[in-house]
Structure 1
């Protein structure tokens, strides 16, 4: 056994020193680095992406005396959709993601948007908002120009604005409540000017309260599509006395997030007709 003179230090292998240095660095890395590792690819956002993470899931939808009509929403995440299977399961309306920001269009949009229409569903398109990239008006125009328009054919729903947690950074997109409400108004006003229709607003009550200050100024004209994975839709955002649509699960049968329209099929047609 080797003997070391008092006060001497045994040389440490280079590999051991390197490992120790890396371990020390790992504790000092900023949180943004860890966050970046889990940030999704830009363009991959979809309806309800943040609902489970922020609102969770509790219970299953309760049976209501009010007739409701089953729907589904899809994005590129679902790929090519078997619309005939969904139709056979009772789904009668559908929304397809068309765009995000001004940098993304859904590569499966034609198969999803036209496929739902071709099996007899009443269909619509939605836009995933990124208020920190471009103005509301710019994104509304991009949406209309890439599938988000409307036609009075009795089977096309008005476009929907998906405004929820930012999957790429700060939940409220780095904007104040008043600035976000202004951005949304800019989008909605431009969409109506282009199509003649008031867009649907898709959101979650907790996000809406946190990021817009529970602004109630859109309730008079814009139908509410509420997201909540629970036995009921819960407390609605300010101003809306009822919801028009409710996304109640992200794991419905076949594919997609599943939704309930607050009324019978003739009410879905009424919304399509304007």
Structure 2
């Protein structure tokens, strides 16, 4: 597996190209989610089921698990990969020392969703991971049907998604994936979705000086953006695929920076691999 890093003049530069129980309770509700191509705003989307989850309850990979949830484990060497986890309020208070002892060296914590939800466990999770020595960052669960990309980027930065130098804070992540609340593509055309993502990423970069990581699955990206290739040159890719390899990547990215490979890991369900060494994780955090 090729790593999303380049070494030049002695410096490492990251190439931008580069919870199951809750999900089971969502599967019935997600039956109402359409799997059509969403070429335009749907006029006949079925109503969201009464058991649809409450806004704010989504977490990284919830839609991926429901739509693409074939579980697997990575094959091949881990020598050039670094283990990580992603958490949200679904995990509650996380046993960070146990994760650290198991070999997890970095973490992402859900901070926000839309422009009204903040993770009530954010402090224990974000600070707790840092306290045991992990390099950590925050992610935002996107709901493009509720407000603009610009507004959601601002809400994210203002409520836990900011970035700081020092090699211990990872850049913020835009979690854009299958909609757990209704229409697959949030009622947007492909062009409208691309515009929404661009508004979010540009605003985040203007506010923090860092390019946001985009977390998505190849299948969703193809369906809801038309496999747009306009982000790979700037935004690092976090690919979601629960299998033994990351598989084909969305257009525009030659490499993935991170890979969410399972939702059934030990201690914490969602486990990830950084496509590089721990030193490269640190370099990525430093910017």
TM over 0.5: yes
Distance 1:192 1:36 in 2: 37
What is the TM-score when the length of structure 2 is the normalising length? 0.83
Are 1:173 and 2:186 an aligned pair? yes
CA-to-aligned-CA distance 1:60-117 (integer Å, 9 cap, x gap): 2112375100000000000110100000000000000000000100000010000000
Q: CA RMSD in A?
A: 1.4
Are 1:52 and 2:71 an aligned pair? no
- Structure 1 segments, 4+ long, off by >4 Å, are 30-33
Larger Rg: 1
Query: Corresponding residue for 2:33?
Result: none
Distance 1:66 1:164 in 2: 29
Aligned length: 244
Structure 2 contact 45–183 (Cα < 8 Å) conserved: no
Query: Corresponding residue for 1:118?
Result: 131
Q: 1:106 aligns with which of 119, 133, 154?
A: 119
What is the TM-score when the length of structure 1 is the normalising length? 0.87
Query: Corresponding residue for 2:150?
Result: 137
- More contact order relative to length (CA 8 Å, sep ≥ 6): 2
Structure 1 contact 74–97 (Cα < 8 Å) conserved: yes
Secondary structure, aligned partner of 1:241: coil
Query: Corresponding residue for 1:271?
Result: 284
Query: Which runs of 5 or more residues in structure 2 are unaligned?
Result: 1-43
Are 1:77 and 2:100 an aligned pair? no
Residue 52 of structure 1, CA deviation: 2.0
Residue 55 of structure 1, CA deviation: 1.1
Query: Corresponding residue for 2:221?
Result: 208
Query: Corresponding residue for 2:159?
Result: 146
